Structure 1
């Protein structure tokens, strides 16, 4: 079984006037949420082989605040920021050598991706809260495509 772990960034500070959205930092609530997400990942033995995160400060800080989840292959991936589900699928496919891949990103792309991979639809699904985690499992040789995944776990702080 291959797994794709989707982690939405934790709560961020509201943007300051004129601030670039990518520069928004986590709030104190967000830091606590990300730590709790890391605790949950460790508790369930969900050690990623590789973690990809968007270039936004809040995704990098979410990943850092997880603490040690046993992953040393951390890569910033520009395509995650403001990505569509199709872009995220292509990115996951490009990292098919990782048995367990963690994507740290943003809504609506992550929640749409979870719904699309699980049910084959995106329009009726919403609900990936900040620091929410969705774990999707695929058969070893299955393509990452709509409806091909089993949603094995879903958690949020």
Structure 2
């Protein structure tokens, strides 16, 4: 893997308000605008990718559709509520792809950024809704070997 783009789902409806399962939470109108803004940023920066890995939750599916367009994601159940180690294992299984987008959730994504860039997952930077972290690798996917080339969050 040469490049990894981490995309956190955009703003979703609050958990537990309507009695639905956490996986069924959908994006708010504001979240839909955030996801479109993320897609515009990716397009403006000419970000290309071979593979989209996406959590199967409704909010990540919506985010992927609005931000990434027609590219059909590969849904990975393990991304939902994943630890850093679980996310790393998923990425390692897809290491033959040159450029990967992973659409998921916090705290896993923000911890993954720190793990791949600094080698320590407890020193996370934060990842706002619809936030994007772009990480490049000169060699194989390894903790502490990534370079954070871009970090973007949508305007309020």
TM-score, normalising length: structure 1: 0.92
In the alignment, what sits opposite 2:145?
148
Count of residues paired in the alignment: 153
Runs of 4+ more than 2 Å apart: 15-18
Counterpart Cα distance in 1 of 2:73 and 2:124: 29
Matches of 2:124 and 2:113 in 1, distance apart? Answer: 9
Partner of 1:8: 8
After superposition, give the CA deviation of every residue in 1:88-146 in whole Å (9 maximum; x if it has no partner). 1111111112111000000000000001100111223231000000001011xx33221
The residue correspondences of 1:1-157 to structure 2 (distance < 5 A) are 2-15=2-15, 16-68=17-69, 72-139=71-138, 142-157=139-154
Judge conservation of contact 1:10–1:33 (CA < 8 Å) in 2: yes
**How many angstroms does 1:67 deviate by?**
4.8
Consecutive unaligned residues in structure 1, runs of 5 or more: none
Q: CA deviation at 1:73?
A: 4.5
TM-score, length basis structure 2: 0.93
